């Protein structure tokens, strides 16, 4: 029988379902993200906490052996040097539970993502304006 994946209606519910030691790490990361991007909306997307401002900034999540920041491939490329001591994949940065949340690094990545989302959103708006003028 296939195990049904738990769904959450909000981030507090997601965090409450985690063991205390795991929850502490994600709550710390949540605090850093909210401080860095206070205008970001906190949502559940793909079953994980996500932060939106002109599009998704990043996701956070817990796994068996790590907690993670899902910050898209562009962030991994931009911060490649600073991420050398972490396990990374295409758009994921995995942090071991036995290490503290790298607050400064998470903050820098979130700032980078917010800036990128604003630029992308502005470019889309400019294209829409130009298209409307031509009609």
The CATH number corresponding to 11-134 among 3.90.1150.200, 3.60.15.10, 3.20.20.410, 3.50.50.60 equals 3.90.1150.200
Distance CA 135, CA 128 (A): 11
- Write down the H helix ranges in 5-102: 11-16, 20-36, 72-78
Element (H, E) at 93: strand 92-96
Nearest to residue 68, comparing CAs of 51, 36, 37, 92? 92
pLDDT, averaged across the chain: 91
What pLDDT, on a 0 to 100 scale, did the predictor assign at position 5?
65
pLDDT band at 130; cut points 50, 70, 90: low
Q: Is the pLDDT of residue 3 over 80?
A: no
Residues above pLDDT 90, as percent of the chain: 82
Give the burial class of 53: count Cβ atoms within 10 A of its Cβ; 0-12 exposed, 13-18 middle, 19 or more buried: middle
pLDDT in tens, 17-62: 999 999 999 999 999 999 999 999 999 999 999 999 999 999 999 9
The domain segmentation of the chain, as residue ranges, is 11-134
What pLDDT, on a 0 to 100 scale, did the predictor assign at position 2?
53
């Amino acid at each position: 029988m296939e195990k049904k994946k738990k769904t959450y209606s909000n981030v507090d519910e997601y965090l409450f379902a985690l063991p205390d030691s795991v929850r502490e790490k994600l709550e710390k990361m949540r605090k850093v993200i909210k401080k860095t991007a206070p205008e970001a909306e906190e949502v559940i997307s793909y079953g994980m906490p996500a932060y939106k401002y002109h599009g998704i900034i990043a996701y956070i999540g817990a796994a068996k052996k790590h907690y993670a920041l899902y910050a898209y491939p562009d962030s991994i490329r931009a911060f490649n040097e600073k991420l050398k001591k972490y396990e990374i994949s295409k758009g994921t940065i995995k942090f071991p539970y036995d290490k503290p949340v790298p607050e400064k690094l998470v903050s820098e990545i979130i700032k980078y993502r917010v800036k990128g989302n604003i630029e992308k959103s502005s470019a889309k708006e400019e294209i829409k304006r130009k298209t409307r003028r031509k009609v």
